[in-house]
A and B are shown apart, each in its own frame.
Chain A
Amino acid sequence: MTIHLEYFASLREQRGLANETIATTDPDARALYTSLRERHGFSLSAEHLRVAVNDDFCDWDRPLSDGDRVVFLPPVAGG
């Protein structure tokens, strides 16, 4: 399936991209992050992140569907 990824903050810096579209067979958000972390060497483990699919926060075991927009969120620092 095709997944659209958007990166922010330290993940954007480490990936060197703001967004990309990839083909994957990873069934859920956790598996997808594990694959991406292995491929790109992201410093943060999933425990330090939250995940959003299609502009809503969701659980790590959320199944992915073709065309989903996935964002992994580093620890926030607003305010």
Chain B
Amino acid sequence: MRAPFVLTDLPIPADPPFPIPTQAGAVTTFEGRVRDNDHGHHVSRLEYSAYATLAEKEGAKIVAEAILRHGLLAAACVHRVGDLVPGDTAIRVWAVSPHRLEAFQGCAFIVDEIKARVPIWKRETYVDGRAEWVACNHPPR
């Protein structure tokens, strides 16, 4: 199996990067996309940059935590870096479990923890030409 958390500068494949075991009764996929607006600003494009070594380490840790905590059969995440435009897929998360509840919860856990913990940054450029590094609202942890 490929690494459970991968950064890529290419479009993210729709299929999970692992075979789905036959014990699985549920597969959830979360797809996060670039919006054309943020806090009332019209976004024309954005750039993701990452501290790759630590991002892949922390991302893999989060996926492993999700598998343990929610009893998943498998899980993975792929996150884009580089230049994106509205409508592009920025992140995909897959969670696989025997029954649906664990797959939903495990998938949500992975997305939430990635947003809070993985060293990836986003620079939005607005249609009026301004650009800024977006700071999320939660305190560091």
Residue numbers of A with Cβ under 8 A of B are 6, 8-10, 13, 48-50, 52, 55-57, 71, 73-79
**Contact assessment for A74 and B135 in the assembled complex, using a CB-CB cutoff below 8 Å:** yes
User: Closest CB-CB distance, A16 to chain B, in whole Å?
Assistant: 15
Beyond A73-B119, A76-B118, 5 extra complex contacts between A and B, CB < 8 Å: A9-B133, A48-B135, A48-B139, A55-B53, A79-B90
B 106-132 binary contact with A (CB < 8 Å = 1; else 0): 000001001111111111000000000
Secondary structure type dominating chain A contacts: mixed
The answer to the question of B85 belonging to the interface, with a C-beta cut-off of 8 Å to chain A, is: no
**CB within 8 Å for A9 and B118 given contacts A49-B140, A55-B53, A73-B51:** no
Tell me the chain B residues, 62-109 only, with Cβ under 8 Å from chain A.
79, 90-91
The answer to the question of B44 belonging to the interface, with a C-beta cut-off of 8 Å to chain A, is: no
In the complex formed, the residue of A with least CB distance to B131 is A13
Contacts of A48 in B (CB 8 A): 135, 139-140
Contacts of A57 in B (CB 8 A): 54, 58
**CB within 8 Å for A8 and B140 given contacts A52-B54, A79-B114:** no
- Name the one of B53, B57, B114, B140 contacting A78, with C-beta atoms under 8 angstroms: B114
- Name the one of A8, A10, A79 contacting B119, with C-beta atoms under 8 angstroms: A8
User: Closest CB-CB distance, B92 to chain A, in whole Å?
Assistant: 11
Kindly state the separation between the CA atoms of A52 and B53 in the bound complex, as whole angstroms: 11
The answer to the question of B10 belonging to the interface, with a C-beta cut-off of 8 Å to chain A, is: no
User: Closest CB-CB distance, A30 to chain B, in whole Å?
Assistant: 14
Residue numbers of B with Cβ under 8 A of A are 32, 48-51, 53-55, 57-58, 79, 90-91, 111, 114-123, 133-136, 139-141
**Contact assessment for B123 and A76 in the assembled complex, using a CB-CB cutoff below 8 Å:** no
In the complex formed, the residue of B with least CB distance to A12 is B49
**Contact assessment for B51 and A79 in the assembled complex, using a CB-CB cutoff below 8 Å:** no
**Contact assessment for A52 and B51 in the assembled complex, using a CB-CB cutoff below 8 Å:** yes
Kindly state the separation between the CA atoms of A8 and B49 in the bound complex, as whole angstroms: 8
Contacts of B140 in A (CB 8 A): 48-50, 73, 75-76
